[in-house]
Chain A
């Protein structure tokens, strides 16, 4: 039963759902890294978006307005980070952690003020992001399982990954931002307003985090839980590292972490302790980073050995 086709299809479906918010956040991390900004605040940006999209959703019942509110809140938070780090030259680590903690506290508090509840808020009147139905796929059972319940935002995450790629590697502005990331001093000496570009980049990363937050609160579910992001912002940083800040590399890294989360969720239904299953994505993160580094070093050593051997043979 474990390996039936349907079962695998469900896992794939769950992987995609887990993956798309991660992909948005990882892309946000990647574009910041490309522009030489150390951004820790994806976590906070996602959380604030998840919260405000639910608030606006409750009061307006409009998905579009909710997403708009979520994205705007997230951009605001990211722009704040940009202001502190780029304009006031504060330490990015301190600012990032401070923002994340502030947002966590503020959302909990506002949850109580606005909805008078603690922990979780959900309501039957909340509207989810509409699911996209693809008629040509529904004919096959497996395919329809794989793609069931996906929203426009899920599909869009892949498109955006490709757009980000095109932006960085084909457009003039993208090229300039990449140059800033490689040597900001040189860019400055050529008269580029480095901080301006960086500020725009981190603000744009807020849009991506905004989408991620909306997906968390209105994608598969319709609710807000305290700390609903559960460290995804930090996993996104790992994904960015594994994907070497390249949009397509980041796509595959998020796929990997999405898969780990999906597996973690599925194994909850088995006899394994939830403490163990829910730690799977995080343990996987650490393992992946270790393997990544070790493998890199190993490849280098192997190459050195090869040359030495060839040399010894020839002389």
Chain B
């Protein structure tokens, strides 16, 4: 047994995040931890990595009791963590990122050549391909994650923690990552994987621990269990799939004509995009991430006003207009990055729910906020959407990742606008809550709302969309109604394949 965490208790202000949690890990084993949003998975890992201190409980590494006061203590004992939000130095090279804190030097000088050689060796040994001299910001997300992994391998970590590593990756990158994990475990590394995607769990994990409300409620070997059973343990009921009734789409809520965009270095990001969304339909944009989805969304939602072409929202010309104007025209937007665009981490939950509506008649009178009404509204949202919060004045950053996401989704759906842009609406969300959000999206559609759905989860697009555009290298290559499509064909087109 390489690791044992025994009776870990962690209490935040008014929340018990971990109640007497015990887990073990063998050498070369892959352990998956699954559970609802707010079940306490990340907290447990933060304790293991020295980012948080437990109120009680012990950690044993190779049978010896250890106390971690900070991440470097944990690192010294061979524990490494691939953070969900990458911790990289964007404008430095891959080499400079990997060697940080373990540099080879010549006197006081940094020996770049020797370090580069070291990185090459490392990359070869673990079969994780990187270009040592490339700047990190020029690397795709999947490669950035590889850099993170190499970084902790460079620190000689034997226990690798992955907290929701696949939520930002493309399907191919996910495959790659799962293979990497298998390979690393065969080489004797022990891995803890936290994820909401039970398919991945069944593919790589040796053993699975299910957590609920801060406790371990089940522990199974992979052979002994199934996806259905695991999701039952997690949410305490069976999952169902929603029924989508036929609907005649009504008036157009989004029209994009000849949209093109070029970046500073002259690279073409979007080329002549034409799309339209009408009320009463969900339109999916399928594509491997990094093919222009983010840019397209930024233009449509007004986060980027530097493009050519014409955009109309609900019949109002919003070309080159800013966010405020477009939102007034009838847009709501669930952004891709929940912390960067979606919320203010230091603000309270109530403040985050209010954002964008602070000037409406309902919530303010003559420039003064109407707190009674606001509290009522926030309370209703938190209640209806099952967001796990302890009190309304809690800071956003104290929510678990999935709960933060739920809150943003709730805020944008509840704006009840005719048009909604939903980017990765269920990123980091557990299976139960995912079902619920899907239902809400469909309900909005059935009530005549138009939704543009962007998701790297093919299954989500196929499940919800009435119509699907395929985006590839900044161009919309194909358009389909959902009836004549299957995931194999769609996957093929997403990689730039041509229809026969």
Contact = CB atoms under 8 A, between A and B. Distances in A.
Contacts of A189: 51, 71, 83, 87
Contacts of A304: 262, 266, 306
Contacts of A303: 262, 264-266
29 contacts: A172-B108, A172-B109, A172-B110, A175-B103, A175-B110, A179-B89, A182-B89, A182-B90, A182-B92, A183-B87, A183-B89, A183-B90, A185-B87, A186-B89, A187-B100, A189-B71, A189-B83, A190-B151, A191-B70, A191-B75, A192-B101, A300-B264, A303-B262, A304-B262, A304-B266, A306-B266, A307-B262, A308-B260, A311-B271
Nearest to A193: B72
B482 interface: no
A137 B101 CA distance: 48
A175 B306 CA distance: 35
Contact of A179 (B71, B96, B268, B308): B96
Interface in B53-88: 70-72, 75, 83, 87-88
A311 B260 CA distance: 11
B239 interface: no
Nearest to B73: A191
Given A190-B100, A191-B70, A191-B101, A308 B262 contact: yes
Contacts of B238: none
A191 B91 contact: no
Nearest to B49: A189
Nearest to A183: B89
Given A190-B71, A304-B266, A308-B308, A179 B109 contact: no
Contact of B96 (A173, A175, A185): A175
A19 B489 CA distance: 67
Q: Is the interface of B mostly helix, strand, loop or mixed?
A: loop
B390 interface: no
Interface in B344-379: none
Interface in B76-131: 83, 87-92, 96, 100-101, 103, 105, 108-110
Contact of A190 (B101, B109, B265): B101
Interface in A145-201: 170-173, 175-176, 178-179, 182-183, 185-187, 189-192
Contacts of A191: 70-72, 75, 101
A170 B110 CA distance: 6
Interface in B142-174: 151
Q: Identify the 5 closest CB pairs spanning chains A and B, nearest first.
A: A191-B72, A186-B87, A182-B89, A307-B262, A304-B262
Nearest to A169: B110
B109 A170 contact: yes
A179 B100 contact: yes
A206 to B, nearest CB: 22
Contacts, number: 70
Interface residues of A, number: 24
Interface of A: 170-173, 175-176, 178-179, 182-183, 185-187, 189-192, 300, 303-304, 306-308, 311
A186 B72 CA distance: 13
Given A176-B100, A176-B101, A190-B75, 9 more contacts: A172-B108, A172-B110, A182-B89, A182-B92, A186-B88, A304-B262, A304-B306, A307-B262, A311-B271
Contacts of B70: 191
Given A172-B108, A172-B109, A173-B108, A311 B268 contact: yes
Contacts of B101: 176, 190-192
Interface in B363-399: none
Nearest to A301: B306
Contacts of A192: 101
Contacts of B90: 182-183
A279 to B, nearest CB: 35
Contacts of A187: 89, 100
Given A183-B87, A183-B88, A190-B87, A307 B268 contact: yes
Nearest to A185: B87
